[in-house]
A and B are shown apart, each in its own frame.
Chain A
């Protein structure tokens, strides 16, 4: 079982990292894709994962930490099984994103930034996801869900494992 506290890639995963590194004139170019792979495998990017990935790139763990903390899609803590990210930028704001966020916090019993006690959902607010024609919208894991109403949000939540 992959463990973010004692990370180690499988032989295939290591091969994938080497493939990614070979795509760039300097292998460091593959750092973001390699970290994405690490997060998919280990669930989140712990300090141990940072150190492990740094070893694969022969670079300082401090540099990897600087990169991980710069980007919003790298999680430094475990998340729920699903991540729900509601856009609260201008177009979604104009069409009621605030009431969508309020509905989600009530329905899930968590504040923004928290994970439900059963580990099912992490709720986040995010900046523009560039699907403003479907405002108000949110991202649920890999999917965009738009033209949200409280009822539609309920149906989406009901469909999550």
Chain B
């Protein structure tokens, strides 16, 4: 198992490289530069900024289009120059891109995500250090909600197979899957915060702030977990070892919780990996609705501000978390299910 874990851990590296490359290519291919939306600065200042972020590479300029290397080159003049020498300009862009890719990759490898394009006094690492714990808390709260509600509903539905409890639980689950969290969230705020005044509608300052967002984010997963638990339990309950447990005269409660649940839980556990991916995506909108300062909020703001370094770092950091979480889920599955073999 140790060897298997190590191999899987190494397998994460190429996937991360794909994600990194994909977002890098998107960023390079996008029209317009990161500083276009700001107040025009003197050409020399802009040039120094671009040199700092490796958007310009003197070596590439010298190779392909030496006329670009003048520090006082105005944007309009640069545009004309590039239009005149289209192929040389493309070559210079590609060459710079390769350099920038290597530079960014080397920085990422050492855990340095560089400065933010938009907030020049703050590094991307600071944003992530502030946002990641909040998003992880939110995800954990949502997961706990989802597991408690989902397992309970699924167990009841399986125990009372085809009775009204079963239909009610499964109907509720389908409703949970269908109701978008950005509809549920505002409705819950309207009812519990603005009408009943029970819970705060926004921010992230303590346990009472976690209830509404956690429930909103977790409801979909509660629904899926309920369906998977029901399906898993219905399958397991017919098996011989459960019949044996009953025949021994064990109490029904013991049979279900001790014997059946362990097997019936397996589909739920293998679902936790994909669910985590969904939690990260879902937190984008939940953090916006409830005004929570987490990774999702930073990501959307960064994307809208064209703060590409920050947006890219969020994607890569989230991906690292997802991949590690998926690996842990697979290992847990192996510990719980003796039928899983790692050498295959």
Are the chains A and B members of one assembly? no
Residues of A within 8 A of B (CB): none
B residues with a Cβ closer than 8 A to A are none
